[in-house]
Structure 1
Amino acid sequence: MKVLLFFFLLLLNACQSFGQQGSGLSGKQVVFPQTSNKAHVVLKASPKQPLTAFTVCLKHYTDLTRAYSLFSYATRKSHNDIIIYKYKPNQYTFYVGGEAVTFLTPEKQSLERETLCASWDSATGLARLWVNGKRLPPRSLKKGYSISADSSIVLGQDQDTQGGRFHGFQADSSIVLGQDQDTQGGGFQVDASIGLGQDEDTLGGGFDGFQSDLSIVLGQDQDTQGGGFQVDASIGLGQDEDTLGGGFDGFQSDSSIVLGQDQDTQAGGFDINDSYVGELLDVRMWERVLSQEEMKRALLDDNIPGNAMIDWETVNYEAKGGVIIERAWSP
């Protein structure tokens, strides 16, 4: 009985670590209350095809004077495919395809919520930035480039590798439900692993049959004690399956957007020195450059005709690492 209680407590802890999930953030904001290499929000969205143009808009409120990342879009090809980064109170860096241009504004004296919009067009190579409704002179950036649709978008963290290997984000244990672990935690970098329903001959793997008096297997039927699974499908909690019941490869989705961190790798590699502290809200993204009239409406929070890749009112999200979701405050 003690063994069962132990396993269920571990399962409860693992479920809590997956973060708060939901759909739609209308009238809400995400709060990053402290410097962290764990706090981030994943916005789950999928571009219909490789991006050759886009517009991103967001609002944020912070008193940070050091550099921090606001928006990070990483792919298998490049972890700097799109980054909106603020180095200083009056200096913004806009990355596309690993290359960057810098925009400067007059030094601000007052502390206020800031509205940012950025656009890029591959056909012309023009990159533009709007700060609180003011359009800055355009820059030339990566003309002819195409951004992969196999992406990870991170707010508030930087990814070191695609889908994992976060700086300071390496768990002490891994729990895989419904399948054996061929490597520790399915390829994660951890110090220990827990296999439910299987005995580990080596740390996080090397299962060979069943070597205990008790087996607990979630998501599979046991034809023999602790084994003999015959199924048409398998369930992996907290991981994506590249093959039936296995092939875990870090963090995989058609597209994920992370708030509050810059990505050194797709959906991971967060560096505490790039982390955001403050409030973020009203993040929207379109797979085209908005017209002048559409941009005016976007800056006024009006709806833009046509489907947005990211719509704050309907987006699926997951908040992790102590991020708080609350009702949006007035500016």
Structure 2
Amino acid sequence: MEMMIVLLIFASFSGILGQTDMACKSFIFSKNYNFPAELTYEGGRGQLSKFTVCLRSCTNMTESVMFSMLSGHRFDYFFIILGGGPDTNTGLIWVKGQRVDINFPPEDTRTRSICLSWDSPNAELVLWVNGKIIEKKEFEKRGFTTIDPRIFIGPGQIFLGGKPMLDVGELTDVHVWDRVLNHQEVKDYCNKKGNVGNIINWRALKYDDVGADFIIGPFHCKS
């Protein structure tokens, strides 16, 4: 875990800020990828007591990809979406040092829509896959909040202290809200007709290119 934080801090010292409409595009990661990309937003959000993140990934990826949120140097939330081989339908979520193992539906289509919501006052986490709840967990109420979060996406192996050995895959349509989406809003996202995130908006994405080996290209979920 310490290695993960060091990598993220190091990655923050270099990079070029870019902004683009990423509609129908994706971050395509490769085996030479070095650091996660930081998704940026205007100003601080203060104490973020609720949030929802939605994204799409491929079920045929050869290695894991991750989404993470940190407050300063403190590790807060991340989830890893595993790819091909025996790990196709498994993943994990890490919430303030507590691990939650998850199993994705075996009938997944090639493109997987994932939404993860966190409600701090109720200490409740909900994971949606393709518009259906597959995990709902309540934690001990300890006033979980995230302060001015830094948001990263990239290969999961980087966060586990390793380096991808194979091509990784693609992530697209990443949005983050400062509230918990309701059931209909999650379904709308899965059907590609929902509103856009007010913290991270894929249609006006700002990101820090830290010199890692990834490209931006059309999302086609290739093998």
Q: Give TM class, smaller chain.
A: 0.7 to 0.9
Report the equivalent of 1:50.
Answer: 47
Is 1:101 equivalent to 2:100 in the alignment? yes
Report the equivalent of 2:199.
Answer: 309
Cα distance 1:271–1:72, how it changes in 2: closer, same or farther (>3 A)?
Answer: farther
1:65-93 CA-partner distances (Å, limit 9, x unpaired): 55x342011223522x1101135322222
Report the equivalent of 2:150.
Answer: 152
Alpha-carbon distance in 1 for matches of 2:146, 2:167? 26
Map of 1:191-202 to 2, 5 A cutoff?
none
**Among residues 122, 125, 149, which one is paired with 1:124 in the alignment?**
122
**Among residues 31, 36, 41, which one is paired with 1:34 in the alignment?**
31
Q: Do the aligned residues in 2 keep the contact of 1:63 with 1:111 (CA within 8 Å)?
A: no
Report the equivalent of 2:208.
Answer: 318
Q: Which runs of 5+ in 1 are unaligned?
A: 1-16, 159-259, 265-269
Larger Rg: 1
Alpha-carbon distance in 1 for matches of 2:133, 2:93? 14
Cα distance 1:48–1:323, how it changes in 2: closer, same or farther (>3 A)?
Answer: same
Map of 1:135-284 to 2, 5 A cutoff?
135-141=133-139, 143-157=141-155, 262=159, 271-272=162-163, 277-284=168-175
Q: Do the aligned residues in 1 keep the contact of 2:175 with 2:201 (CA within 8 Å)?
A: yes
When normalised by structure 1's length, the TM-score is 0.53
Cα displacement (A) at 1:152: 2.0
Question: What root-mean-square deviation, in Å, do the aligned CA atoms of Structure 1 and Structure 2 show?
Answer: 3.1
Letter in 1 for 2:218: R
Report the equivalent of 1:86.
Answer: 81
Cα displacement (A) at 1:106: 4.3
Report the equivalent of 1:293.
Answer: 184
1:132-189 CA-partner distances (Å, limit 9, x unpaired): 222114112353433332332111157xxxxxxxxxxxxxxxxxxxxxxxxxxxxxxx
Alpha-carbon distance in 2 for matches of 1:133, 1:283? 15
Bigger RCO of structures 1 and 2 (CA < 8 A, at least 6 apart) = 2
Is the partner of 2:195 in helix, strand or coil? coil
Is the partner of 2:151 in helix, strand or coil? strand
Alpha-carbon distance in 1 for matches of 2:123, 2:149? 21
**Among residues 16, 21, 44, which one is paired with 2:18 in the alignment?**
21
Alpha-carbon distance in 2 for matches of 1:274, 1:290? 36
Alpha-carbon distance in 2 for matches of 1:274, 1:128? 32
Letter in 2 for 1:326: G
Letter in 2 for 1:289: V
Letter in 2 for 1:71: F
Cα displacement (A) at 1:23: 3.1
- Tell me which moved more, 121-130 or 296-305: 296-305
Alpha-carbon distance in 2 for matches of 1:95, 1:74? 12
1:41-79 CA-partner distances (Å, limit 9, x unpaired): 22112552211111110011253455x342011223522
Alpha-carbon distance in 1 for matches of 2:168, 2:188? 28
Q: Do the aligned residues in 2 keep the contact of 1:130 with 1:136 (CA within 8 Å)?
A: yes
Report the equivalent of 2:11.
Answer: none
What is the percentage of aligned positions where both structures have the same residue? Answer: 26
Alpha-carbon distance in 2 for matches of 1:70, 1:278? 11
